[in-house]
A and B are shown apart, each in its own frame.
Chain A
């Protein structure tokens, strides 16, 4: 934590209900109390909070990728792909269906990643019903409140910052070279009694490289990708204000260049994966009269995203994880690109020689808020109104070309001489670029809120309350994307003598996602807190500086249900041929019955917790929660007789329990010349299916009910078949023909058959880690500071199904070194095999969910380490600067886990996650 956090921490002990979040001041009520360190003193609600500046330590382009480890109860998972956003979940998962959280930016549902970190003031996670009930239909999955920076009554302050980041993949799998591949392919064939297709002479030709056109040996990963990517980020912010007007302005530019190696074939354009982003924000607070405040927020964003003309990043990676080293050369010796039908296209040609495609996105986010204080009428009363309009569009503009490629196939004759070469050409060589363009995305949304707020503050009583109306509309591109919401919200937070706190809130919430008679719901919540340290018996305690004990209970909703289940659709289905000419005619029939019970999900949430500060040294917040989610839409056909003769729509009969604990702790002290902080978060959430209308299972171990929603089910591997006798003497496995080296499964029901009835629960949660934790270290001495964060997850299972890495050879897929080193080999070449024998034809016996292909996905990563030096003030003041700072950082530098070959966060085939080294300077005036 930065130094001033610590100072604020000391200053914050007296916070009460009176000092609510700044956002409320300009119109958006957020009913909670906190200090800047994220502790909630005297508050009743379960939240966690981080300062926006804490995100700067990772300094990612998208804010979601910087949220790791900062907020208890928030699970952040890195996703693969160029320019991808991290996935966010709050308190695990409570639904069998849509678990998307509500993200509000300045009180309006928006994409967090439209922002850049520099404009974020703070991020708050709302976790319990007391905090979420006011969000009605959208609260049950938790909410993330993001507030942008505002001006303050102070002298103008200008900050300039520049950062350079160099990124390299955290991990990329290594694939075998051409001779090894050919040998392995032969082995795969031999494993099924099929004759080899690569002769010794050919394997030797791959090894020698003597005939590179016909017998290529290419490291595609190396040929296509470069080692380092670069990112430049520059920003300038200006903030300040007086009594009449306060402002915060920011301009940020980002240039990000990806990992493609050959991108400058043509001087006119680059084919690199690249982003250019320009965010311009101005937030204004204007005192129009002595009792009237107006706030205006404006964000404009211009962004472009470049890529090679024919391929997106996921396709490039799919090729690199598929194309074997021996497929064809990058270029033939005649200068024509290599390529062969039946294989994926040459990735070097695809990324350098097919033109380029550029996406342009434009976004405008605008807010206007007016607050009128009505103290003249009733002291503490005010009326507020606000409106927001967002519009974004993304247009793609492609300029592509085709190219000529050829294969040169040849065979050796028995004497060892290379026979005639058969040259086949494919494609065509375009001299000019072809054009296309399309609208990739478009959305507009609006939000209106208005109401009254009332605050009371006297010696014994403090009250903060509001009643307001809110409506939202979101329209996306194409049909079925529009949603509207209406809410009426009332809440009050009352404190008596700064010791006893009561909060109550209620919302009436309506959604367009449900039919008229079903679309309204009511969501009440209550919460209590007791500030024990303000009681006489603790008031003068040396040890206890703060002790707050709280509990909350209430109802929240989730309207993210499948739309139109109340309808009774008919459509084309089935066909039958009539006439002597045998002509098919299409049929038409009802598709499903309307849902017999159609509604939104209701989550009853109970939370207990405490906040403690002792010896001016240790702060601790702890929460335990229990949630029961009802009315989850689940299959109805599983419990209704099929004799009805028609599919039934889902019904709201699912029930899921979710429970867990969270801990945030910090030990820190300030000294004259320095400070230290050791902190951390710990979150654990586990759900359990109570009812999912599960179909009767013939064996108890097959039941999903009673397990978590993310529980994988598969076959239990008990070893490998060592030989044919072993196969003959074991129960028949009914998935595909088995050979020595195939997985041998446990016969769970003892019927001497291995089939779908032998499937059991395996591993931990595979949809989300149940355990998340982080350790933050921070120390400073004079101008020097060092900080680091370790973050990890546990109780997490990942499937080992990645093409090429764990599922090689089939359909000419490449083979990872890891697989070859760890798979079952004939004659016991590998003594403790993890993976089944090589196969070129595939094996549905082996490649299905089983205990060997589910791995522990737990990891511990160094999310950042930063060394910074702030120049002595007396130096910089001489050149009229307030502060000058230089820093060097590393992010995601290492990971401790059991996957080794891939990043455990990105097990799919995707553009890799990068670890970065960053250098930066910042000045303020």
Chain B
């Protein structure tokens, strides 16, 4: 019946367009990719998936899911990563939206191919436009590779996606092996690096923050380091370490040419590219005080919420400034006898106080942080730090939250910086060549020890060089400690625990109870803050249960 009636109706009624009544308004695809501004915006949208605070978990940094910190709000989802509640149906930090980012990048690449913006040719600023446009495809490919890496370090195997998928394709796509994903990222970086500028400071609009050649080289080095690490390099193939070393070496070799150097410790965080000369890629945020409101100590004027409480485990990793010796016995050295728990923060690596607010140190509003029992930011105040410390890195202590005088500051979240490349290099060199004094200029321009000593020699840090008496294992161990200290709270420790497969060593979380003796002296007592659950399966994330039902080809990671 329908077959007869509908054509009849259509015939009878096509003469008038009575039903053709559209009040639709919006941008269509053609509008977007013909306009220079919209093309630029389309690429900006791909960048927008690089997130401040590293794409936090219910407000908490992944640091709080590692032995770097405890999140003070016990109802925050991040605790599920530590207490065993994490599962394929109770998912955390899936970052599934990175598939949206990858799609946006792929669509951008499809649409911009061959785009000459002919309509703009007579515009006076045509040349300026095209000066920017020439980098766009390479920026998009960098971001696509970066997002693949973000997914791969979570899930291991992930699908490599270089086309705009249809829903049908997405429903049956299967995961590519981790090694292939890394190979894809490395190949992409190799191809795009020569085309990207070393800096945008001199490109039209001076849009620093875009992907540079250095970013591509650093991503490649990082990807290869992960691939060489025990979690993924199950056969301990030293060639992988060597390849990782070569990639990092390639960066280091060109570092000064690309404009990178190690600035003063005070210029490392929340600084733009002009000030922070080692920043390779970061997420810049316009002025805001929400991170301060989250992390300022509870009890101060304007009321902070404490947020992340750095652990004693991390504090202990900061060595003594004079000797370079640890404050507790480690497998690379015995504790410095000069250290005492009665005055634990004296004479320490300067990076300690740059990263962590310790008891009675001068910080917000130029006042001492009162962490001792009975102090305004100490127990038993509700939501006072659980560990005896407050987070300082990325938290701008010059911000005011006072009700009558609030202020906001810009933030810059470091995604990649030069000292990470140096530490990546040192690790890969020592693992790959079994000798921390080995180098082979120009491809491998530094020894592992030279690289790590460079990081320690930064103005404002100036820690003693690694002793040349260290055994190979001691060197490796001390290097891991150095990485932990230098890159604390920069979203590395969480992943390093995984790629080194040391999760079971990070379950006991310690803090410090602090009791006032008189106005200036305190008694410090180490306490076990919490004992966490770390299971073998947690080295990789679970594929969400609901996504597996939608696409059974995804499979599941071991143990979930």
Contact = CB atoms under 8 A, between A and B. Distances in A.
Contacts of B437: none
Contacts of B1: 522, 524
Interface stretch (A77-85, A271-279, A535-543, A574-582): A574-582
Interface string B6-20: 101110110000111
Interface string B57-78: 0000000000000000011000
B26 A570 contact: yes
Contact of A575 (B44, B99, B161): B44
Nearest to B201: A580
A146 to B, nearest CB: 26
B398 interface: no
Interface string B510-554: 000000000000000000000000000000000001110111001
B500 interface: no
Contacts of A698: 89-90, 545
B23 A645 contact: no
B26 A571 contact: yes
Contacts of B41: 572, 585-588
B547 A642 contact: yes
A736 interface: yes
B103 interface: yes
Contact of A480 (B23, B42, B49): B23
Nearest to A571: B27
A580 B274 contact: yes
B28 interface: yes
Interface in B256-290: 272-274, 283-286
Most chain A beta-carbon neighbours within 10 Å: one of B19, B32, B209, B547: B19
Query: Interface extent on B, as a size class?
Result: 35 or more
Interface in A562-606: 563-564, 567-590, 593, 596
A582 B288 CA distance: 12
Nearest to A473: B18
Contacts of A640: 167, 170-171, 550
Interface string A436-480: 000000000000000000000000000000000001010000011
A627 B167 CA distance: 32
Contacts of B285: 577, 582
A587 B45 contact: yes
Contact of B19 (A510, A522, A569, A574): A510
Interface string B177-205: 00000000000000000000000110001
B47 interface: yes
Interface stretch (A49-57, A511-519, A610-618): A511-519
Given A508-B9, A579-B207, A588 B23 contact: no
A589 B6 contact: no
B103 A588 contact: no
A576 B23 contact: no
Interface stretch (A102-110, A212-220, A337-345, A481-489): A481-489
Given A520-B9, A520-B10, A579 B173 contact: no
A576 B285 CA distance: 8
Interface string A198-216: 0000000000000000000
B80 to A, nearest CB: 9
B293 interface: no
A417 B165 CA distance: 77
A577 B32 contact: no
Contacts of B171: 640-641, 644
A455 to B, nearest CB: 25
B29 A590 contact: yes
B554 to A, nearest CB: 8
Query: Interface extent on A, as a size class?
Result: 35 or more
A642 to B, nearest CB: 5
A644 B26 CA distance: 23
B90 A757 contact: yes
Contacts of B31: 570
B25 interface: yes
A516 B25 contact: no
A484 B21 contact: yes
B206 interface: yes
Contacts of A642: 96, 99, 170, 547, 550
Contacts of A596: 167
Given A589-B42, A645-B102, A570 B23 contact: no
B2 interface: yes
Contacts of B13: 486, 510
Contacts of B286: 577, 582-584
Nearest to A508: B9
Given A574-B49, A577-B284, A696-B546, A643 B159 contact: yes
Contacts of A575: 44, 48
A568 B48 CA distance: 21
B410 interface: yes
A11 interface: no
B38 interface: yes
Most chain A beta-carbon neighbours within 10 Å: one of B23, B85, B173, B201: B23
Contacts of B376: none
B18 A593 contact: no
B170 A570 contact: no
A751 B100 contact: no
Most chain B beta-carbon neighbours within 10 Å: one of A570, A581, A636: A570
Contacts of B21: 482-484, 512
B249 to A, nearest CB: 29
A526 to B, nearest CB: 13
A595 to B, nearest CB: 11
7 contacts: A520-B9, A568-B29, A570-B31, A586-B41, A588-B42, A596-B167, A736-B75
10 smallest CB-CB distances across A and B, nearest first, come from A645-B103, A587-B45, A574-B48, A644-B170, A588-B41, A698-B89, A578-B207, A576-B47, A570-B27, A641-B551
Given A524-B1, A580-B208, A587-B44, 5 more contacts: A520-B9, A570-B29, A588-B27, A644-B171, A696-B549
